[in-house]
Each structure stands twice: as structure tokens, then as C-alpha cells.
Amino acid sequence: MSTAPADLAAARAALLPWYHAHRRDLPWRRTRDPYAIWISEAMLQQTRVETVIPYFERFLGQFPDVATLATADIEDVYAAWAGLGYYSRARNLHAAAGAIVARFGGRVPDDPEALRSLPGIGRYTAGAIASIAFDRPEPILDGNVERVLARYVGLREDARSPSGSATLWAAAETLARGPEPGALNQALMELGATVCTPRAPGCLVCPLFPGCRARRDGDPEALPVKAPRAKPRAARAVAALVQRRARVLAVRRPPGGLLGGLWELPGGDLAAGEPAADALRRALRERTGLEVDGLVPAGTVEHVFTHRRLRLELFRCTVASGRVRLHELAAHRWVSPSDLAGLAQGALTKKALARVLDAAAPGARAASARATR
């Protein structure tokens, strides 16, 4: 399907004055610094604006420019990011900052192709930086913009399909051409966040009301069309608070992949039919080289990833013999429980640590005195 250029021209003419009159006062909108805009766009991916604001301000206070971020210890970057989730974003920021220093003299490039060559920067983020910071007529298409444009042009196919995505990108490209491309792109994002919402969109106050096909058809909430997601598959794993005198063992995942570079309790996957205690002893032996003793069950936690629903069975135990020899892990530390809580970790580890420490409280310890040996 296609949208007449006149329709998009009308949309553009309506969006800019609406945005200048109604935009929210957000800290990253008070600057044209491409570094600050880049940081904000990375943080805003899959995270609410009100959550991002204090993180954005603290992050820029600690890492005010590309060079500072590039030379920072990745642990400090993770610590500044702690609580935002999706830590691959922080890892990519750090790696991209190093690349900007090495390849572009420490200046964020204004060329979209150069931006897309950096870790973690795809077409959307490159378009946002290029248009907002450098006035380049580059399009953007995130979830909010996808919804606005799918409704405006009346897209009745899957918005994430190749042809559906191409239709929306083409509309975004047309809209970006003209004065104030950065403001235009931010207007689309703002409209999707505050007016053209997934449920109960405010059609009567929308600047695109006259030309919106979904409004005209009377079913804006039906768009965008999205293919149903597959249900997460069930999986089980084991982990333990491994104690050696007053300290506990923390292990760090390798940089790539799910939860890459984050700290967690040692453990591993649970094979079908394998008793949890046996699986834990095996996983600790294979991944850390340690033999453990005195296994005490410490409860379970569940966490849903995009494609997997994980049930993690927890234990407390002590080191019986061996020294740490890591396999498939990046690093380890023996730390106090409070220091372990302060390491960069994902939501699953936070839940697991809270559960296992709660199970170790005096009342709970007495109730779980039966050790699995």
C-alpha cells in the first residue's frame, strides 16, 4: 500500500506546531550534544521515560563525554546502569565509545552509515542521532512511531513483516524530508507516547485526526497488526550461594550472549530427570572446579525472558575441596553477601540473591535444617 504525498505533507505540517506547543520538557531535549542524545536513546529503548531521567543525569555526571566513557572500567559502566536492565546496551555504549575514539577522534559521527557501524547502533538510533543532533533528514521507526504511522496510513498487514516494515519506513523517510527533521521525529515519538497510545488513543486531540485512516475506519486500537509471539518455553536451572568462611562466590558471565558480562550466583542448567542437588554439584564441578558440601535448599524463583520461562532452584552450600578453575565463565570473586548485591547483575540474579539470603535468616534457617547430601 502507499500513502499519497499530500497526506504525509499534511501530517508533517500538523506535527511540528503540535510538538513545539505540547512537547514534554525532558533533559535530553535541552541539548544538541550528539553524545547526550545517543545516551538518552540507548536508555530509552524498552524503558519508560520517568525511569530514564535520573539515570541519564547521573550517567552524564559520571561519564560526561565519549573519551571518559571509552576509558572507564566496564564494571563502573555496569554499576551506573544497574537497575535499567538489558545490560547489553551498557556494554555496547562502552564498546562504541572506544570505537569513536579510535576511528573518529572522539567525536560522534554525523553520517548515518558511520553511526550504524558502531556497536549497538541500528537504523533507528542512527536516524535519531543524525536528525536530532545534526539536522540530517533521517527517518526513525521505534514502537511509538510504528503505531502512529500504522494507524495514520491504515496498514492492515503485520507491521513487522518485510513489506509492512518497508511501508512504514518509507512513510518515515518522507516525513523526515524538510525543515527540522529532528523535531519532526521527536514529534512522532511524543505523539505515540502521549496521545496515540496502544489503548484508548486520544483521537479527538490528535493533530493527525483529519487524515488518520484508522480513526476514519473506527478501529485505531486494532493497529498496528502484529503476529502473535510464541509462548516462552519452560526451562529449569540451579544456582547456589557457595560459601567459604565469611565470603560467597560470584561468577561473571562471558561478554557475549544473554546477560553477557553480568555477575551471578554459580550454577547451571538442569537436565531432564536430573535431581536438582546432583545437577548443582555437577555444574559447580564443571564450571568452577569446586566440590561442595552441605547443600541446603533455599527456594525457587521464576523469570521470563523473551523466549524462555526459567525456574531457578536455589541452594546454600559450602566449599568442600578444590580451587576455582573457570570454564565458560569470564571471572570470579569471593565477596561478602552485601558486596555481591552491589555487583552488576540482572533481574533474575537480584531475585535469586534476595530469596537465598531470606532463606538464610535465622527463622528460615531453622525451618530448612534438612541438608541434601
Please state, in angstroms and rounded to a whole number, the distance separating the CA atoms of residues 310 and 56: 31
Residue in this structure with the C-alpha cell 518485510, named with its chain if needed: 162
The catalytically annotated residue of 41, 180, 190, 264 is 41
DSSP 238-258: EEEEEEETTEEEEEE--SSST
- Quick one: which of 237, 362, 246, 248 has its CA closest to 316? 248
What does the alpha-carbon distance between residue 40 and residue 20 come to, in Å, rounded to a whole number?
Answer: 20
C-alpha cell at 188: 512522532
For residue 202, give the 3-state DSSP assignment. coil
Task: Kindly give the pairing relationship between strand 308-321 and strand 233-244.
Answer: parallel
3-state secondary structure of 182: helix
**Residues whose CB falls within 8 Å of the CB of residue 344, separated by 6 or more in sequence, listed in order:** 75, 78, 79, 81, 82, 87, 261, 262, 263
Q: Residue 165 in contact with residue 159, Cβ under 8 Å?
A: yes
Which helix (H) or strand (E) segment holds residue 34: the answer is helix 34-44
Let me know if 299 is exposed, middle or buried by CB neighbors in 10 A (0-12, 13-18, 19+).
middle
For residues 349 and 264, is the Cβ–Cβ distance under 8 A?
A: yes
Q: Find the distance separating the first CA and the last CA of the chain, reported in whole Å.
A: 66
Kindly list the distances between the CA atom of residue 55 and the CA atoms of 25, 91, 286, in Å, as whole numbers in the listed order: 16, 16, 38
The SS3 assignment for 259 reads coil
Residue 151 near residue 126, CB atoms below 8 Å? no
Residues 6+ apart with CB under 8 A from 282: 268, 274
Reply yes or no on whether 138 is catalytic: no
Active site residues: 41
